[in-house]
Amino acid sequence: MKELPDWVTKQKGKGTEVRKKNDNYYLYKIRSVWDPEKKRARKITERYLGKITPEGLMKPKHEKILETLSEISVKEFGAAHWVTMLSLDIIKHLKRYYPEEWKEIIVFSIIRFFHSSPLKNVSHYYISSHLSDLFPEAKVSPKSLSELLGSIGVRRELMVKFMKNWVEGSEFAVIDLTHIFSLSENVISATLGHNSNNEYVPQINLVLIFSLDKKQPSFFRLVPGSIRDVSVIPLSLKEAGIKRAMVIGDKGFYSDKNVKFLEGNRLKYVLPLRRDSSLIDYRPIQSGNRRNFDGYFLFEQRVIWCYERKRNGRRIIVFLDEKLRAEEERDFVKWVDNGKRSIEEYYNLQFRSGTIAVITNSSFNPQRVFELLKSRVGIESLFDTFKNTLHADRTYMRDDAHLEGWMFVNFISLLLYYRIYEILLNKDLLKSFSPKDVILHLSRIYKVRIGEKWMLSEIPKKSRVLMKKLGIELHIT
């Protein structure tokens, strides 16, 4: 081969060979091995390194593709970006009260909302999410998060200051959520007590204050499980700085003593009654004549009939939900067929099926009272999702402070949930989507990094439709 041009020899190194084909030069990786038969070294071509040009070495096409693939990164983008934009005021207040830990608190809270994740899985979701770019270097290992919970849990005064930013609106609902179980020996407030399921286990009670105007949680307080006294409610309202509130209890909350205490403290209440309560008059239902009811209203596309009576100057409202009645009758008949209940029992209890009765001193119309009662059910259902992971996290709940910190993170998660709930409510989309549905659809939108450039992935049709309905636009900046 004639003398090679300088720009070719520059690319030639040890263990390589230049080959010319037509007017082009190509570089190969070679090595020598001893051939015992020929008794001399034999050259072996290992691989093709690329085409040599005056501009440099052009690598083979397959290597370029592999290099590009190695620079590709995919992260969940849609849900993380949108929820973070909805959380700017929350982040602002976290920075104010928790300047050292705000990043970890918001990341943990968002991931709890998205995935109901226990501590051990948070780092996995963080790394694969746009959150790791929005909040870089957040310390989200199980050990770090456990230390975080303890750190924020011992500073109740900062939690109170933070939560008071959400104490707004003219009327609040106080919801007594019970049996947050704790199996840690060091959680002192987890004392033995009976819950609404008549279980006698170590537990903690949660008092949650909910804004009826803003449709969002506003305040929480944890109290020892042995305390089932209504005295915790005025103290909780006093700590929150709330003067007007509506107490929404469960079926185990009503007693004449509790009602008198609430009235003595000028508190409004809506308390469900047990179906065997002597305060309930079932005669309008037994008559089989809807004329004996006061009226009806629509709730979630079904008819709710209702009537009202006065007992000792207090309102007793009875609701009849035909859908619930049909479901309960079906279940009862199954028990009869299985020999677990008798048909005589059904005859005796048939008029109670599908009924919900409450005692209240409020001036709200029956439909509003029913909606308030159902709002408690929704909050209970949502919080049960979070409670389920407390069992998985029990090894990190070392003491009362850790549990308090754990609840604070979940409080922020609830804020995020109801922020989306209100958007769906205002756009009349709750019939078709829940906040979790929105997160599911938006989480299918990814951002993809190829080389140094980030771009949006293809957006599924259902996600596009939902984004249009919500007025969401996603852009990578």
Query: Residue 102: inside a domain, yes or no?
Result: no
Q: Is the pLDDT of residue 71 over 60?
A: no
Predicted local distance difference test score (pLDDT) of residue 174: 81
* Nearest alpha carbon to residue 443 among 426, 455, 430, 460: 460
Q: What is the pLDDT of residue 186?
A: 46
Q: What is the pLDDT of residue 44?
A: 84
pLDDT, tens digit (0-9, with 9 covering 90-100), for 327-346: 999 999 999 998 888 999 88
From 361, 380, 407, the end of a domain falls on: 361
Res 69 pLDDT > 70: no
- pLDDT band for position 283 (50/70/90)? very high
Q: Which range marks the domain in which residue 313 is found? A: 273-361
Q: How confident is the model at residue 225 (pLDDT cuts 50, 70, 90)?
A: low
pLDDT band for 198, please (50, 70, 90 cuts): very low
Two tokens at 196? 């609404």
Which of 34, 67, 100 is the endpoint of a domain?
67
Residue 344 lies in a domain: yes
pTM to 2 decimal places: 0.73
pLDDT tens column, 338-373: 888 899 988 888 899 999 999 999 989 999 999 888
Number of folded domains that form the chain: 2
Average pLDDT, the chain: 85
The reply to whether 35 falls in a domain is yes
The answer as to whether 34 is a domain residue is yes
Inter-residue long-range contacts of 195-201, CB under 8 Å, 24+ positions, other chains counted: 195/225, 196/250, 196/251, 196/252
> Would you state the pLDDT for residue 134?
94
Share above pLDDT 70 across residues of the chain, in percent, rounded to a whole number = 87
Q: Is the pLDDT of residue 68 over 70?
A: no
Q: Which residue has the higher pLDDT, 102 or 56?
A: 102
User: Is residue 189 very low, low, confident or very high in pLDDT (cuts 50, 70, 90)?
Assistant: very low
pLDDT at 184: 43
Q: Identify the pLDDT of residue 2.
A: 66
In a domain, 150, yes or no: no
- Of 67, 86, 106, the one marking the end of a domain is 67
**Cβ-Cβ contacts under 8 Å for 467 (sequence gap 6 or more):** 442, 459, 473, 474
In a domain, 282, yes or no: yes
pLDDT per residue over 150-186, tens digit each? Answer: 999 999 999 999 999 988 776 788 876 655 544 444 4
Residue 357 lies in a domain: yes
Confidence band, pLDDT 50/70/90 cuts, at residue 393: low
The answer to whether residue 199 sits within a structural domain is: no
